[in-house]
Amino acid sequence: MKRFLGFIVKEFYHIFRDYRTLLILFGLPAVQLLLFGYVITNEIKDARIAILDQSKDEITRRISEKVLSSGYFILDKNLRSVSEIGQVFRQGNVKLVLIFGPDFSKNLDKTGNARVQIVADASDPNTASILVNYIQGILSNYLISLNAEKIPMQIVPEVRMMYNGQMKGVYMFVPGLMAMLLMLISALMTSLSITKEKELGTMELLLVSPLKPIQIIIGKVFPYVFLAFIDACIIILLGNTVFGVPVVGSVGLLLAESFLYICMALSLGILISTITSSQQIAMMLSLVALMLPTILLSGFIFPVENMPWILQVFCHIMPPKYFITIIKSIMLQGNGFRYIAFETFIMLGFTLFFIFLSVKKFKIRLA
Amino acid sequence: MPAILVEHISKQFSGVKALDDISFSIDNGELFGFIGPDGAGKTTLFRILTTLLLPDSGTAMVNGLDVVNDYLRIRQDIGYMPGRFSLYSDLSVEENLNFYATVFGTTIAENYELIRDIYIQIEPFKKRMAGKLSGGMKQKLALSCALIHKPSVLILDEPTTGVDAVSRLEFWEMLKRLKNSGITIAVATPYMDEASLCDRVALIQNGKLMAVSTPIEVTKTYPWKLFSVKADDIFGLLNDLRNFPGVHTVFAFGQAAHVSFKDRQTGEEKLVEYLQMKGHTGISVHSADANIEDCFMELMIKT
């Protein structure tokens, strides 16, 4: 036991003396979270629009007010003629132009049919369709309030977005980032630190020592369990304080599941280091074979359900997918262990499988 | 029971024979040297002895323990210093030593006596990172680390390669002292001049042992008549000597040339006459005793 402790102390020396490792360990999670949280966002705030009001009556003014007070739009310019539309789009500030036809309220009263046109800049199709949806929502709301007394029957859908009422992107990114960063730190860092010993030749001396292979492996990995765990806490804390992502369920359960995921990622890192002896290959393997699938195939950014079946099969053998399901379930839905037992057992299975493979593949000799 | 007993060990790496049917034994408390050029098979042999590699065929025992089956127990008994500097350069001198002591279940204090002579020289720098030590100091630290658990057999792979002449001499002094305290030492070196400092040497070349004997016995086996020849123009001297009729080999040794003749009748006078005729100045010719390097060269020619 004393030997083992001595080994762990040595590992901590390595980590704390290498400021680059430290920077990756603690700087990366914070920077990534802030980047993803602020940059990649599906929400739209303060989009600039122009309005061409050809009737200028009470109703069009009221609709314009509603649109502009919604918080999503800012009036860039009031247009005077149709010819100006192309010009404001070309200037590039305006994302959408709202056009009311002539005699708007007169037509509405007489025929019950008034015309409004929405012209959007679809060079960014996602933004354009979101903006159009917002405007349509505001218009139909107004119409309902206008007709409330006149029409006896109406179906009013009352939509409620559960677990993420404001449709915030961060709610999705925090679990995904956690899966990605813990994988990066655990798998990449351990595979690097083990292959480093091989490259420097110190593994030769460790092998000749009475340390057992399992002691060497656990000794190398232990500090990273600890550090990755701290990272998990940093991500949860930052997500909560900066972006207001709640932890509805049990924090203890969340941390326990994170711990299991960290162990799984570490055992993957060990596995990588047993099949290669160069740091470079270990890094490539960790990045390409682990990071990309974690980002693309875990449901982090792209929904698994929309992928072709062959990719869906791949998704189901990606451990991060299960972890993301688990933390979403705990953080956002507040579910207990009963609801995530299946995913937990799958992760446990992955962990045991990787450890079994690594111990089998760990070489007690040089060749 | 010999400390190390090797019988018919062979090892191939993708078709190339690194070791070819090697047998020898090293007695308890012996300082045994393996002399041979780079790529001769020294490191492979040492890795088999330290249980890091498996031999393709043959058996090897360390302290009566088989290197294949009893590898865990052997790892307790041996101290190993790999050819490459293999300590942690981001750990200080003291931390390195401490680490190896803990890993072997001991402390620096417990075995300080054993390493004192060596460690005392680097102790003033004990807070310095191992990566910032000079070559000689690195070797001393590596030796201290290999010794800290009081091994009964010490296996040193080219410990003096890349170390200055003074440090090399000091290093061998230390090995002598360790040997006197009863530790068996196997040491590999590409330097022929270090051979005479061993109790026995094995000349190794292309994975084969060519001679295993005491340094004196090895030099006695040298079959030819040998002269040490000097002249002012050493380069021209070597060329002219090679053209001398009846000459067997010519090798440069520092400022002198060693010339051997298969014909024992060849005399110094004839040689001096020939060199004077070629216009050399400052000529001196002595008959000489063969050293290890002469023997090694001779053995290389034979194989």
Domain ranges of chain A: 11-40+168-366, 47-147
Chain A contact for B84 (CB, 8 A cutoff): yes
Task: Please give the pLDDT value at position B4.
Answer: 94
The pLDDT of residue A367 is above 70: no
User: Cβ separation of B76 and A210 shorter than 8 Å?
Assistant: yes
Q: How far is CA A20 from the centre of its chain?
A: 25
B128 to chain A, any CB pair closer than 8 A? The answer is no
Nearest-neighbour CA in chain B from A28: distance (Å): 23
Contacts of A91 (CB under 8 A, 6+ apart): none
A351 confidence band (pLDDT: 50, 70, 90): very high
User: Which residues, 6 or more positions from B241, have their beta carbon under 8 angstroms from its beta carbon?
Assistant: B229, B247, B250, B257, B259
In chain B, which residues have their Cβ closer than 8 Å to the Cβ of A220?
none
- The C-alpha of A295 sits at a distance from chain B's nearest C-alpha, in angstroms, of 34
Interatomic CA distance for residues A134 and B251, integer angstroms = 94
Inter-chain touch A207–B52, beta carbons under 8 Å:
yes
Mean pLDDT of chain A: 85
Closest CB from A3, A210, A365 relative to B54 = A365
**What percentage of chain A exceeds 70 in pLDDT?**
95
Cβ pair A10:B91 closer than 8 A: yes
| B208 near A CB under 8 A | no
Alpha helix stretches (DSSP H) within B128-207 = 135-147, 165-180
Spell out which residues of chain B touch residue A198, defining contact as CB-CB under 8 Å: none
Is the Cβ pair A210, B75 closer than 8 Å? yes
User: Among all residues of chain A, which has the CA nearest to that of B88?
Assistant: A202
A239: confidence class by pLDDT, cuts 50, 70, 90 = confident
Fold of A47-147: abc type-2 transporter like fold (3.40.1710)
Say if residues B93 and B126 touch (Cβ distance below 8 Å): yes
A-contacting residues in B 36-75 (Cβ below 8 Å): 47, 50-54, 71-72, 75
Distance from CA of B168 to the nearest CA of A (A): 23
Cross-chain residue pair B75–A208, CB shorter than 8 Å = yes
| Ranges of chain B whose pLDDT falls below 70 | 303
Report the pLDDT value the prediction gives residue B62, as an integer from 0 to 100: 94
Question: What confidence tens digit (pLDDT) does each residue in A42-58 have?
Answer: 567 788 899 999 888 88
Phi and psi angles of residue B24, each rounded to the nearest 5 degrees, phi first = -170, 170
* Interface predicted TM-score (ipTM) of this complex, two decimals: 0.80
Query: How far apart are the CA of B152 and the nearest CA of chain A, in angstroms?
Result: 14
Q: Check A209 against B103: CB less than 8 A apart.
A: yes
Instruction: Tell me the residue type at B260.
Output: S
**Under an 8 A CB cutoff, do B51 and A365 touch?**
yes
Q: Which candidate from B86, B98, B105 shows the least CB-CB separation from A205?
A: B86
Helix/strand/coil percentages in chain B, nearest 5: 40, 30, 35
Check CB contact under 8 Å for A208 and B50.
Answer: yes
Question: If you count residue pairs, one on A and one on B, with CB atoms under 8 Å apart, how many are there?
Answer: 79
What integer is the mean pLDDT of A9-21? 89
In this prediction, residues A288-301 reach a mean pLDDT of: 80
Q: Would the CB atoms of B52 and A204 count as touching at under 8 Å?
A: yes
Is it the case that residue A165 has pLDDT exceeding 80?
Answer: no
A9 CB neighbours in chain B (<8 A) are 99
Per-residue pLDDT of A41-98, as tens digits, reads: 656 778 889 999 988 888 888 889 988 888 888 888 888 888 888 888 888 888 899 9
Beta strand residue intervals within chain A, DSSP E: 47-53, 73-79, 96-100, 116-120
